[in-house]
Amino acid sequence: MRASLLQIDVRPDERVADRRSRVAALVREQAGADLVVLPELWPVGAFAYQDFETYAEPLDGPTARELGAAARAARVWLHAGSIVERGGAGEPLYNTSLLFAPDGQLHRFYRKIHRFGFDTGEATMMAAGDEIVTARLSGPGTTIGLATCYDLRFPEQFRLLVDAGAELLVICAGWPERRRAHWSLLARARAVESQAYVLACGTAGTHAGVQQAGHSVVVDPWGEVLAEAGSGEEVLTVDLDPSRVAKTRSEFPALRDRVLGLPRP
């Protein structure tokens, strides 16, 4: 299975429509990959709170239309990162990730459960999702679990994803540079404790004055870093063996010995 993580530079001097078209073109260039992953809120910027209302869009809005067409052109599964979602007038905003099938249809969407901000920013401007989301990818024959940025700090969410069958944990993010050490540490921790691949895709550039960490990373079920990006815009491509998840869980059956929480199915 080949996965490509597109670490997008969110530049303040680039119009949202222009960035959308540029990113769609990058997705089309990934033909031959099985799964392509984009970062959190890349159309507007994860910290550009003042623009959330302006660029909020429905699930069938301009980002979904353009990125769905790109997924269809490249014939890839596309985790299109997240958008500021609004269902209609008077409805709340959500930080919503979109997963497109190779035919370009929206296959799943995930509303971010853990909102960042400590009573400011996203935490006050957006409603929280309340459902974990997994998807079985035809072709690669593996199940992915979806999470977004701040979710990475909450291992209980990833336990639920594992219980729901997740073998690859896909995290889109707009993670700040000043906490980059946590980004790398938590990505490896989630892989080790879940005995699953972690594909964590962040942004480059600066959002509303907040320097982004970049350093998108792919971690295997033993916690080994298979590939890591730098700080600028970059396409990170890696070949994975989904069967390693079952092999790891069989050879070192730590999940079987869980005592607290939900039993492993």
Q: Which of 66, 112, 122, 167 is catalytic?
A: 112
Residue 130's H or E segment, with its range, is none
Query: Is residue 88 exposed (0-12), middle (13-18) or buried (19+ Cβ within 10 Å)?
Result: exposed
Residue 247 is a catalytic residue = no
Q: Which of 40, 66, 122, 228 is catalytic?
A: 40
Residue 228 is a catalytic residue = no
Q: Which of 66, 85, 122, 149 is catalytic?
A: 149
CA distance 19 to 15: 6
> How large is the angle between the packed helices 155-163 and 180-194, nearest 10 degrees?
30
Cβ neighbors of 150 (< 8 A, separation 6 or more) are 112, 114, 115, 116
User: Three-state DSSP class for 70?
Assistant: helix
Query: Is residue 118 exposed (0-12), middle (13-18) or buried (19+ Cβ within 10 Å)?
Result: exposed
User: Three-state DSSP class for 26?
Assistant: helix
DSSP 184-241: HHHHHHHHHHHTSEEEEE--EEEETTEEB----EEE-TTS-EEEE--SSSEEEEEE--
Cβ neighbors of 260 (< 8 A, separation 6 or more) are none
Residue 122 is a catalytic residue = no
Residues acting as catalytic residues: 40, 112, 149
